Amino acid sequence: MADLIIACLSQKGGVGKSTLARLIARTYAVSGWTTKICDFNTTQLTSTHWAKIRKDAGIEPKIDAEAYNQPTALTREDYNLIVADGRPDSDQSSLDIALRSNLVVIPTGLSLDDLQPQLAFAKELVAKGVPAERILFVLSKITDSKIAIAEARGYLAEFRVADQHLTLKHSYQKSQNHGYALSEVQGLNTARLEEVADLVAAEIVSMVTELQEAA
Ligand SMILES: Nc1ncnc2c1ncn2[C@@H]1O[C@H](COP(=O)(O)OP(=O)(O)OP(=O)(O)O)[C@@H](O)[C@H]1O
Ligand SMILES: [Mg+2]
């Protein structure tokens, strides 16, 4: 049975679920946790393909990934950490995954087009039994506009939003293309990008710890 299940879910597509799933998996794996990404986006298999590229390139630590259809089977996995990488929708499967997860991470951009469905999705999870304190929003793939960031935080005020955000960067995208996580970003002058990715991951780890201590 998995010690910990973290889900990256959303209603919107392309907002950064698989990116956060890979970052979270790498963060725990580097600390020695056996880690597997259960890839529920079976039409794209983003994380599954990424894990294969990573393995073929010999990048350590090793992260397993597999296409996955059955939320009910999540708890049976014999790994320290399972990261569920969700489908872009709010169907029953996302709810079933969320109900089995210790933490649900929801990425969102800054536009109302992103914020509105993502907030509605989080509220729906809560209405159906997912505790609000188990939900974390992460602003992802965004510009660095202080005003827009503050507005987005205001819009999401009833939920916890990670203090750090992930800006849209070519080096992040390129690194993932080569099997790296955002905290392993490749390229010149990327130390700050790596640091921010590590800080986002650290917030997720500390939220999990807080929830476990409170349980
Ligand atoms: N901070 C970033 N900077 C640059 N590119 C990014 C960033 N975050 C994600 N991307 C890229 O944006 C695209 C979508 O991201 P990702 O696959 O993580 O989203 P998703 O929510 O899993 O999408 P889907 O709903 O299709 O499963 C990918 O090509 C990814 O590499
Ligand atoms: Mg995805």
What would you measure as the largest C-alpha separation in the chain, in angstroms?
A: 46
Distances (CA, A) of 73 to 1, 63, 69, 127, 207: 10, 19, 9, 23, 25
Q: Is residue 93 part of a domain?
A: yes
pLDDT digits (tens, 9 = 90+) for 142-159: 999 999 999 999 999 999
Which residues have CB less than 5 Å away from ligand 2 (the ion)?
Answer: 17-18, 41, 46
The whole domain housing 102 covers 4-210
The CATH number given to whatever domain includes residue 33 is 3.40.50.300
List pocket residues of ligand 1, CB cut-off 6 Å.
Answer: 13-19, 41, 44, 46, 88, 140-141, 166, 168-169, 172-173, 176
Q: Is residue 215 part of a domain?
A: no
pLDDT digits (tens, 9 = 90+) for 41-61: 999 999 999 999 999 999 999
Please give the structure tokens belonging to residue 89. Answer: 């929708």
pLDDT digits (tens, 9 = 90+) for 74-106: 988 999 999 999 998 767 899 999 999 999 999
Q: What is the pLDDT of residue 91?
A: 76
Distance (Å) from CA 7 to ligand 2 centroid: 12
Closest atom of ligand 1 to 140 CA is 1
Distance CA 22, CA 16 (A): 10
Distance (Å) from CA 46 to ligand 1 centroid: 9
- The H or E element that residue 162 is part of is none
Q: What is the per-residue DSSP string for 4-71?
A: EEEEEEESSSSSSHHHHHHHHHHHHHHTT--EEEEE--TTT-HHHHHHHHHHHTTPSSP-EEEE---G
Q: Is residue 167 part of a domain?
A: yes
Average pLDDT, the chain: 96
Structural domain tally of the chain? 1
Q: Is residue 190 part of a domain?
A: yes
pLDDT digits (tens, 9 = 90+) for 102-137: 999 999 999 999 999 999 999 999 999 999 999 999
